Amino acid sequence: MNSVTVDNSLSPHGGQLVDRIITDKQLATTMAGECQGTLRLKGKTAREIVNIAYGVFSPLEGFMTKEQLDSVLTTMMLPNGYVWSLPILYDISEENCREMAIEVGHKLLLEYHNVPFAVLEVEDIYSYDKDYMANQIYSAENVDHPGIKLIHSLEDWFLGGKVTMINPPIFQDPYDRYFYTPKQLREKFKRRRWKRVVAFHTTDVPHTGHEWMMKMAWFQHRARGIMVSCAVGDKSIGDCIDENVLLGHHELQKSGYFQESVHLTTMLLWDRRYAGAKEAVLHAIMRKNMGCTGHIFGKNHAHPQGFGDTYAAHFAFKDLPDLGLESILSKEWFYCSHCQGVTYTGFCAHPDKVDLLESKSVCSLLSTGIRPTDNLLRPEVFDVIVGAADKYGFGDGYVTEDYLRRRSPIFTLAKF
């Protein structure tokens, strides 16, 4: 472990929320004009800039230098001693870097959809062994592992340095209803007098098992509130569309299955790394930065099916310093026809009577007209996702090639 001793239990992580946003238009224009070059952003990188600038990634202030990356891969800590489990990188091709003659000390204008978005102060330019990086993150060399594929899809060079957002994102429908910065969430929790808040990370439409997992976590953590945190970002064919996940979870509260006084649906810009326990650690840090005091970890948390232990996240924190956030560990919740209700792996002894429902299966039902039973999915939730599939998914509740081509942007930028 890193020899630097710090208090990893501080909230926010590192003791202070990072704020790297310029709202003064004249200053933003001046900063853009001082740049020595311009780079165009991919969606994933743009989403990470949002997380850096608003403090979701506190204490990170930019994309990792080689020193920071080395430290994270070997110790799961930043050089300053704060726990950090996964790389946050700006990758660039060697050819592009040489053509632009990028040097340490340069400031680069980062554009998203051809509009100025942020400024990167180049502190480091380096290449890295991607085989080593993948092995350190995933402890595997299986080229079919989706996380390893992501590492090998990166360009060969990397730029490290601080990032400043100069043109804040404008979130589109329905995301504008669910995006909150960490500062806004902390203020909201304070107004609601939520001193203890448990986070639920999800990419799925909520079935009754999810609902009861959250309710029991609320009791276990002695929480005042549940923050549903829907991960919004890159999608694969067959996933639930982001809009269905957000609107489905919100409907649980609107229909009275949770009182508004204990439930809040939010979103997190996050592209999956499929890194299991290490990704669980970063999920915990991000939700701590948002003001949460507990986090639910269930089956297959950030874990690709077919690769290793499905409950790896349950052991993610045992060798780490105290992060100041309680891990709520849960196995499966499901409906059992013999028990005549939703129950839990540790209680129910009727494996042949269990109805396991996958959220992706629910989304696929939308195109067939088949309605799941109320025991498995709340009828109001099903009605909402049917409407959302028509409005946002072009008739499908799950991700298709058509959805990937035509989906509305998560956020846009104002003209600069």
Rounded CA-CA distance 50/169 in Å is 8
72 sits in which H/E element: helix 66-75
Q: Which residues pair with 232 in a beta bridge?
A: 269
Evaluate whether 412 touches 172 at the Cβ level (below 8 Å). yes
Domains in the chain, CATH or no CATH each = 25-168 (3.10.400.10), 175-412 (3.40.50.620)
Cα-based distances in Å from 114 to 14, 30, 78, 118: 34, 18, 33, 12
Residue 55, Ramachandran bin (φ over 0: left; ψ between -120 and 50: alpha; else beta): left
Whole-model pTM: value is 0.95
- What φ, ψ does residue 385 adopt, rounded to 5°? -75, -25
Closest CA to 207 of 8, 11, 358: 358
> Residue-wise pLDDT tens for the chain (416 aa)?
566 789 999 999 999 999 999 999 999 999 999 999 999 999 999 999 999 999 999 999 999 999 999 999 999 999 999 999 999 999 999 999 999 999 999 999 999 999 999 999 999 999 999 999 999 999 887 889 999 999 999 999 999 999 999 999 999 999 999 999 999 999 999 999 999 999 999 999 999 999 999 999 999 999 999 999 999 999 999 899 999 999 999 999 999 999 999 999 999 999 999 999 999 999 999 999 999 999 999 988 988 877 878 899 999 999 999 999 999 999 988 888 899 889 998 899 998 888 766 656 666 677 677 888 888 899 999 999 999 999 999 988 899 999 999 999 999 999 99
**Amino acid residing at 341:** G
